Amino acid sequence: MPTRMTGPRGQARRPRPDAGVRVSITDVAREAGVAISTVSAALNGRAGVSEATRVRITGIAERLGWVPSIRGRSLVARQAWAVGLLVQRPASVLEADPFFAGFIGGVETVLDEAHYALLLQLAGSRERVLQRLPLWARSETVDGIFLTDVQADDPRFEVVGRLGLPAVAINSGDKRPFVSTVHQQHLPGLRALLRHLLDLGHTRIAHVSGSPGFVHSGEREDAWRTELADAGVVAGPLVGGDFTSEGGARAADELLGSADPPTAVLCANDLTAIGFISRANAMGFTVPGDVSVTGFDGIQLSGFTAPPLTTVQTAPHDLGAEAARLLLRLIAGGEPEHTEIPAAELLVRASTARPRR
């Protein structure tokens, strides 16, 4: 039976097989009959250690299963070898959102190679993020952070600037002080999408918007308004959405239940479009026969809906990879940079067609 002992913080800790014997640099040094500084130099490939000693020490370290403690190393190096993603959303939204999985996947491919880890925390709201950001920075838990879900007047920029915390903003619209930014242009794809609808002959094009406050919500709404104005078409009704399928379904109720429904609907993202189509079908409308519907994002499932969605293909994975590269460079002492990945492109599939009349 395992016995109980009391750990350094007074918590009961159960010893495990082979676990009590944490091997430290001191153990390796003792075993090798050298000083710890020699072990350190040998293992880190620093000059000034004879090949014979290096081989001997390496062998002993391996035999003892010694791996340098990141805690001791962090303390002197003043690095955490971790970067953070402090998400400004409740868990429920994160779980449904198609952006984060791709973004994190991209981030990881780069961090992994650099032997950096990603620290993830869900702060749930804008207020709690602002509360936690200084703690993260001052406690030196991470060497830098990603700023996603940038809002129009985002106070985080001022905070990371003041704290001196390396940060990369993703799709923040403008260049911001103190931080690097990576951006994927959505406007060209959005314009192409609207021209596609106009070219098909639509003149009554509605918009289901994203959650208010987000940079990309405003961007999509503006593009819709501007592009239609340029074509001399009166912008159809605007319905407030929230980037969810439920929001899309509600918008369908409202738009298709009206006296003069639109012939095309620009949805703020794919989830919204899928919800819209689902409800439209339930109401007896066919897509694209009665109404053309477009998405935005190009999530994997958008190619497998009925009908497959006309949308704009974004690249959260590539955005994540580039953001990670920028952050690592900033941490290494580089100046802030501002880069772009290739613009999001129109993907014409089967959810759009000529208007019936």
Partner DNA sequence: CTGAAAGCGCTTACAG
List binders of DNA among 75-134 (CB under 7 A). 75-78
Amino acid type, 132: R
Amino acid letter, 26: T
For DNA, the closer of residues 34 and 85 by Cβ is 34
H/E stretch holding 72 reads: helix 70-77
Q: Which residue type sits at 210?
A: G
Helices 156-163, 126-138: crossing angle, 10 deg rounding: 10
Q: Regarding beta strands 5-6 and 12-13, do their DSSP bridges make them parallel or antiparallel, or are they unpaired?
A: antiparallel
Choose the binding region for its own copies from 34-42, 162-170, 189-197, 220-228 (rule: CB under 8 A): 162-170
Tokens of 35: 């000083």
Contacting range for DNA; rule: CB under 7 A; set: 68-76, 200-208, 213-221, 259-267 = 68-76
17 binds its own copies (CB under 8 A): yes
β-strands 311-313, 345-347 pairing: antiparallel
Q: Which does 33 bind (CB under 5 to 8 A by kind): its own copies, DNA, none?
A: DNA
| Residue 37 near DNA by CB under 7 A | yes
Size of the site for DNA (CB under 7 A): 36
Structure tokens belonging to residue 122: 């869900």
| 65 near DNA (CB under 7 A) | no
Closest distance to its own copies from the beta carbon of 275 (Å): 5
**Of 1, 3, 4, 9, which one interacts with DNA (CB under 7 A)?**
9
- Least CB distance from residue 208 to its own copies, whole Å? 14
Stretch that binds DNA, among 32-40, 235-243, 288-296, 349-357 (CB under 7 A): 32-40
**Among all chains, which residue has been given the structure tokens 């868990």?**
91
Burial 281-313 (b: 16+ CB within 10 A, else e): eeeebebbebbbbbbbbbbeebeebebebbbbe
Residues 209/239, Cβ–Cβ less than 8 Å = yes
Q: Is 30 in the site for DNA (CB under 7 A)?
A: no
Contact residues for DNA (CB under 7 A)?
Answer: 8-10, 22, 24-26, 33-38, 40-41, 43-44, 46-53, 66-69, 71-73, 75-78
